[in-house]
Amino acid sequence: MKYKTVKETPRLKETSSIKIVDKDEFLADDDLIPLLVCNQFRIYPDEYKDLKLLRHKKIALAGKLYLSGIETNIEEYYLDDFTIFLLTFSSVNLIFRERNERNGYIFRIKNYWQ
């Protein structure tokens, strides 16, 4: 397993690499990377909407569209001050559709933290 998330987080299709943990274990220093799941309206788990709480940690983000269930790839970030700035001050939309010549349309995570 590579990632960990809490029970209240929406489930992703890729479950073989995700371990469900309690809230007190979510930020524990171990070999698992905390996974935040985003949709058009919010981020899960709710306690970590403020990325500054996760500063200087490696996290993973995944997006899941609310009604259709379409998911983005899991992307890993190290949250230094510059990365927090980029995630915080980019665009307003959390998930957007991007045209890619090779793969057709892909869904990407954008800013939730504005």
In a domain, 114, yes or no: no
Say which amino acid occupies 76: E
What pLDDT does residue 112 have? Answer: 47
Res 92: pLDDT: 40
When pLDDT is cut at 50, 70 and 90, the band that residue 2 belongs to is very high
Q: How confident is the model at residue 103 (pLDDT cuts 50, 70, 90)?
A: low
51 inside domain? yes
For the chain, the domain total comes to 1
For 47-100, the pLDDT digits (tens) are 887 778 889 999 988 877 766 676 777 888 888 888 777 776 654 444 455 566
Residue-wise pLDDT tens digits, 12-43:
877 788 999 998 899 888 999 999 888 767 78
pTM of the model: 0.73
Give the residues across from 20 on adjacent strands.
5
Range of the domain at 105: 3-109
Spatial separation of the C-alpha atoms in residues 1 and 25, rounded to whole Å: 15
Distance from C-alpha of 82 to C-alpha of 45, rounded to nearest angstrom: 23
**Cβ count within 10 A of residue 35:** 24
Asked if 72 contacts 63 with a C-beta cutoff of 8 angstroms, the reply is yes
**Residues 6+ positions from 79 with CB-CB distance below 8 Å:** 51, 54, 55, 56, 57, 58, 59
3-state secondary structure (DSSP) of residue 44: strand
* 93 located within any domain: yes
Up-side HSE of residue 51: CA atoms within 13 Å toward CB?
27
